[in-house]
Chains A and B, each alone.
Chain A
Amino acid sequence: MSAAVRVDGLVKTFGRTRALDGLDLTVTAGEVHGFLGPNGAGKTTTIRVLLGQVRADGGRVELLGGDPWQDAVELHRRLAYVPGDVTLWPSLTGGEVIDLLGRLRGGLDPGRRAELLERFELDPRKKCRTYSKGNRQKVALVAAFASDVELLVLDEPTSGLDPLMETLFNECVLEEKRRGRTVLLSSHILSEVEALCDRVSIIRAGRTVESGSLADLRQLTRTTVRAELIGPAPQLAALPGVHDLAVSDGRLSCQVDGDALTPVLAELARVGVRALTTQPPTLEELFLRHYTGATR
Chain B
Amino acid sequence: MTGTATLIRLIVRRDRVPLLVWIAISAVLPAGIASGTTALYPDQAARDAFATESLGSPAQLATRGPIYAASVGGLTAWTLGSSLALIGGLISILLVIRHTRGEEETGRRELLSAGVVGRHAPLAAALAVVCTANLLLGLLAVPALVASGLPAGSSLLFGLSTAAGGWAFAAVAAVTAQLTAASGPARGIAIATGGLLYALRSLADTGGAAWLAWLSPFGWVRLTKPYAGDRWWVLGLVAVFVAALTAAAFRLSTRRDVAGGLVPTRPGPDTGALSGAFGLAARLHRGALVGFTTGFGLMGALLGVAARGLDAQLDTPRFRELATTIAGADARVSDVFFTFVMYVLSQLVAAAALVSALRARGEEAVGRAELLLSTPVGRLRWGLSHLVFALVSPVLLLTVLGAAAGLGYDGDIARVTAATLAHLPAVWTVVGIAALLFGVLPRAAVAVSWTALGLFLLVDLLAEFKLASGFVLALSPFTHVPAVLLGGASAPVAPLLWLTAVAGTLTAVGLVLLRRRDLAPAT
- Measured in the bound complex, the distance between the Cα atoms of B367 and A81 in whole Å is 13
> Is A93 a contact of B270 with CB atoms below 8 Å?
yes
Please give, as numbers and ranges, the residues of chain A lying within 8 Å of B376 by CB-CB distance.
Answer: 73-74, 76-77, 104-106
* B371, B373, B377, most chain A CB atoms within 10 A: B371
Stretch at the interface among B9-17, B248-256, B271-279, B341-349: B271-279
Residue A252 is within 8 A (CB to CB) of chain B in the complex: no
Please give, as numbers and ranges, the residues of chain B lying within 8 Å of A93 by CB-CB distance.
Answer: 267-270, 272
> Is A103 a contact of B370 with CB atoms below 8 Å?
no
Min Cβ gap B362→A in Å is: 11
Please give, as numbers and ranges, the residues of chain B lying within 8 Å of A52 by CB-CB distance.
Answer: 373
> Is B181 a contact of A124 with CB atoms below 8 Å?
no
Residue B490 is within 8 A (CB to CB) of chain A in the complex: no
Identity of the chain B residue whose Cβ is nearest the Cβ of A100 in the assembled complex? B274
Min Cβ gap B106→A in Å is: 9
Name A125's contact: one of B269, B279, B523 (CB within 8 Å): B269
- Measured in the bound complex, the distance between the Cα atoms of B264 and A126 in whole Å is 12
Give the contacts of B341-385 with A (CB-CB under 8 A): 366-368, 370-379
Name B105's contact: one of A54, A55, A90 (CB within 8 Å): A90
Q: List 7 A-B contacts (CB under 8 A).
A: A76-B377, A87-B367, A87-B368, A88-B371, A89-B284, A124-B271, A129-B181
- Range, interface on chain A: 35 or more
Residue A216 is within 8 A (CB to CB) of chain B in the complex: no
- Measured in the bound complex, the distance between the Cα atoms of B232 and A113 in whole Å is 67
Identity of the chain A residue whose Cβ is nearest the Cβ of B287 in the assembled complex? A91
Query: Would A73 and B367 be within 8 Å (CB), given that A89-B284, A99-B271, A124-B271 are in contact?
Result: no
Query: How would residues 282 to 298 of chain B score, 1 for a CB under 8 Å from any chain A CB and 0 otherwise?
Result: 01100100000000000
Please give, as numbers and ranges, the residues of chain B lying within 8 Å of A98 by CB-CB distance.
Answer: 272
Identity of the chain B residue whose Cβ is nearest the Cβ of A85 in the assembled complex? B367
Residue B509 is within 8 A (CB to CB) of chain A in the complex: no
> Is B371 a contact of A81 with CB atoms below 8 Å?
yes
> Is B274 a contact of A103 with CB atoms below 8 Å?
yes
Residue B325 is within 8 A (CB to CB) of chain A in the complex: no
> Is B368 a contact of A89 with CB atoms below 8 Å?
yes
Please give, as numbers and ranges, the residues of chain A lying within 8 Å of B516 by CB-CB distance.
Answer: 55
In the A-B complex, the 6 residue pairs with the closest CB atoms: A96-B272, A81-B374, A99-B272, A104-B375, A93-B268, A54-B518
Please give, as numbers and ranges, the residues of chain B lying within 8 Å of A101 by CB-CB distance.
Answer: 371, 375
Query: How would residues 419 to 436 of chain B score, 1 for a CB under 8 Å from any chain A CB and 0 otherwise?
Result: 000000000000000000
Name B519's contact: one of A53, A85, A95 (CB within 8 Å): A53
Residue A97 is within 8 A (CB to CB) of chain B in the complex: yes
Give the contacts of A42-96 with B (CB-CB under 8 A): 48, 51-55, 72-74, 76-77, 79-81, 83, 85-93, 95-96
Name A95's contact: one of B271, B276, B368, B372 (CB within 8 Å): B271
- Measured in the bound complex, the distance between the Cα atoms of B371 and A79 in whole Å is 12
- Measured in the bound complex, the distance between the Cα atoms of B518 and A48 in whole Å is 9
Residue B87 is within 8 A (CB to CB) of chain A in the complex: no
Please give, as numbers and ranges, the residues of chain B lying within 8 Å of A96 by CB-CB distance.
Answer: 268-269, 271-274
- Measured in the bound complex, the distance between the Cα atoms of B181 and A126 in whole Å is 14
Residue A130 is within 8 A (CB to CB) of chain B in the complex: yes
Identity of the chain A residue whose Cβ is nearest the Cβ of B520 in the assembled complex? A54
Residue A127 is within 8 A (CB to CB) of chain B in the complex: yes
A: which residues have CB within 8 A of B?
Answer: 48, 51-55, 72-74, 76-77, 79-81, 83, 85-93, 95-101, 103-106, 123-127, 129-130, 140, 153
> Is A51 a contact of B374 with CB atoms below 8 Å?
yes
Name B371's contact: one of A87, A103, A126 (CB within 8 Å): A87
> Is B276 a contact of A86 with CB atoms below 8 Å?
no
Please give, as numbers and ranges, the residues of chain A lying within 8 Å of B284 by CB-CB distance.
Answer: 89, 91
Please give, as numbers and ranges, the residues of chain A lying within 8 Å of B287 by CB-CB distance.
Answer: 91
Interface of B is mostly: loop
- Measured in the bound complex, the distance between the Cα atoms of B378 and A11 in whole Å is 24
> Is B370 a contact of A83 with CB atoms below 8 Å?
yes
> Is A95 a contact of B272 with CB atoms below 8 Å?
yes
- Measured in the bound complex, the distance between the Cα atoms of B379 and A140 in whole Å is 21
B: which residues have CB within 8 A of A?
Answer: 105, 181-182, 265, 267-277, 279-280, 283-284, 287, 366-368, 370-379, 516, 518-519, 523
> Is B373 a contact of A95 with CB atoms below 8 Å?
no
Please give, as numbers and ranges, the residues of chain B lying within 8 Å of A89 by CB-CB distance.
Answer: 280, 283-284, 368
> Is A91 a contact of B519 with CB atoms below 8 Å?
no
> Is A95 a contact of B265 with CB atoms below 8 Å?
no
> Is B371 a contact of A86 with CB atoms below 8 Å?
yes
- Measured in the bound complex, the distance between the Cα atoms of B373 and A83 in whole Å is 12
Identity of the chain A residue whose Cβ is nearest the Cβ of B107 in the assembled complex? A133
Please give, as numbers and ranges, the residues of chain B lying within 8 Å of A92 by CB-CB distance.
Answer: 268, 272, 274, 283
Min Cβ gap B445→A in Å is: 17
Query: Would A99 and B273 be within 8 Å (CB), given that A76-B376, A90-B105 are in contact?
Result: yes
Identity of the chain A residue whose Cβ is nearest the Cβ of B373 in the assembled complex? A53
Q: A89-B284, A95-B269, A129-B181 are in contact. List 10 more A-B contacts (CB 8 A).
A: A53-B370, A53-B374, A76-B375, A76-B377, A88-B371, A91-B284, A93-B267, A106-B376, A124-B271, A127-B267
> Is A125 a contact of B267 with CB atoms below 8 Å?
yes
> Is A103 a contact of B276 with CB atoms below 8 Å?
yes
Identity of the chain B residue whose Cβ is nearest the Cβ of A90 in the assembled complex? B182
- Measured in the bound complex, the distance between the Cα atoms of B374 and A72 in whole Å is 8
Identity of the chain A residue whose Cβ is nearest the Cβ of B265 in the assembled complex? A127
Identity of the chain A residue whose Cβ is nearest the Cβ of B364 in the assembled complex? A53
> Is A100 a contact of B519 with CB atoms below 8 Å?
no
- Measured in the bound complex, the distance between the Cα atoms of B372 and A103 in whole Å is 12
Please give, as numbers and ranges, the residues of chain B lying within 8 Å of A85 by CB-CB distance.
Answer: 367, 523
Please give, as numbers and ranges, the residues of chain A lying within 8 Å of B518 by CB-CB distance.
Answer: 53-55
> Is B367 a contact of A83 with CB atoms below 8 Å?
yes
Name A105's contact: one of B273, B280, B375 (CB within 8 Å): B375
Please give, as numbers and ranges, the residues of chain A lying within 8 Å of B272 by CB-CB distance.
Answer: 92-93, 95-100
Please give, as numbers and ranges, the residues of chain B lying within 8 Å of A74 by CB-CB distance.
Answer: 376
- Measured in the bound complex, the distance between the Cα atoms of B275 and A83 in whole Å is 22
Identity of the chain B residue whose Cβ is nearest the Cβ of A127 in the assembled complex? B265
Name A104's contact: one of B265, B267, B270, B276 (CB within 8 Å): B276
- Measured in the bound complex, the distance between the Cα atoms of B275 and A99 in whole Å is 9
